[in-house]
């Protein structure tokens, strides 16, 4: 007999107790004979056919348990990596640098949902006024993503935070193919030193920054973008500004 899944075991246990066929402490499939398992299986099937709502109840309970387990894992992972999340010494900090709430975003310039999230994040920061935003360059969608992130990080290292913000905002909106020509045109349009930035793109310093961010993402079990870290929560995926504002207010209340 193949082992039952967690859900099937839970349903079978619930049915067994409801049937009264076995005391709770005695219910163990492995201890039954083949005949007992067959008889028990027939009773469980008959019970579930009469009470199919039990299956839905068991599934809902399992989903709640899994969600709680995942939330607890996220809390532990965030706590273990909080210093690197908030004070790594290299990630760009925007919004209100002295804000009472810190929002960390792992993003990819070629990610459609990151593009969709960008104006929502800007709207949230403007409306609230007291949120510190930290951007983590996490290119995971191929060579074009890495190319864009290398250019953005090189801009920050060569020309500073203000230049990075301008380039970041431009890259998140560019839909055309990214190459040296388009990046040079972008830099020159912002009155930046295109030669210096392009030369720095493959530097060890840029590579190390991207490597550290990728390692941090792995520590947090982040595999998609955008992913936000707010307080001790990992928010995986796009959220509109009004929903993020609710979570920010809850975090602020929890901190008070």
CATH number, span 82-255: 3.40.30.10
Element holding 59 (H helix, E strand): helix 53-80
Question: What is the C-alpha to C-alpha distance for residues 107 and 90, in angstroms, rounded to an integer?
Answer: 15
Structure token digits, residue 9: 């075991």
| pTM of the model as a whole | 0.76
pLDDT by 10s per residue, the chain, length 256: 344 455 455 555 555 545 554 444 445 667 778 888 888 888 888 888 887 887 787 777 777 777 766 777 899 999 999 999 999 999 999 999 999 999 999 999 999 999 999 999 999 999 999 999 999 999 999 999 999 999 999 999 999 999 999 999 999 999 888 999 999 999 999 999 999 999 999 999 999 999 999 999 999 999 999 999 999 999 999 999 999 999 999 999 999 8
Where are the domains positioned within the chain?
Answer: 6-76, 82-255
Whole-angstrom distance, CA of residue 138 vs CA of residue 111: 10
In whole angstroms, what is the distance from residue 112 CA to residue 121 CA? 14
17, 24 Cβ separation under 8 angstroms: yes
Least Cα distance to 117 among 130, 135, 101, 131 occurs for 135
CB count in 10 Å sphere of residue 19: 13
């Amino acid at each position: 007999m193949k082992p039952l899944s967690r859900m099937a075991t839970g349903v079978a246990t619930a049915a067994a107790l409801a049937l009264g066929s076995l005391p709770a402490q005695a219910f163990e499939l492995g201890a039954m004979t083949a005949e007992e398992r067959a008889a028990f299986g027939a009773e469980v099937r008959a019970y579930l056919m009469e009470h199919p709502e039990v299956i839905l109840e068991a599934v809902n309970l399992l989903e709640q348990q899994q969600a709680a387990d995942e939330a607890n894992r996220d809390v532990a992972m965030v706590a273990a990596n909080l210093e690197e999340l908030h004070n790594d010494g290299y990630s760009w900090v925007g919004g209100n640098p002295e804000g009472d709430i810190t929002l960390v975003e792992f993003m990819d310039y070629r990610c459609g949902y990151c593009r969709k999230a960008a104006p929502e994040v800007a709207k949230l920061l403007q409306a609230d006024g007291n949120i510190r935003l930290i951007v983590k360059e996490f290119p995971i969608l191929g060579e074009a993503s890495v190319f864009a992130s290398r250019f953005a990080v090189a801009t920050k290292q060569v020309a500073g935070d203000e230049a990075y913000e301008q380039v970041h905002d431009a890259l998140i909106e560019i839909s055309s193919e990214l190459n040296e020509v388009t990046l040079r045109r972008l830099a020159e349009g912002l009155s930046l030193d295109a030669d210096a930035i392009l030369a720095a793109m493959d530097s060890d310093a840029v590579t190390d920054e991207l490597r550290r961010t990728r390692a941090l993402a792995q520590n947090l079990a982040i595999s998609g973008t955008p992913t936000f870290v707010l307080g001790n929560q990992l928010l995986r995926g796009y959220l509109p500004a009004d929903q993020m504002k609710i979570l920010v207010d809850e975090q602020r209340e929890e901190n008070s």
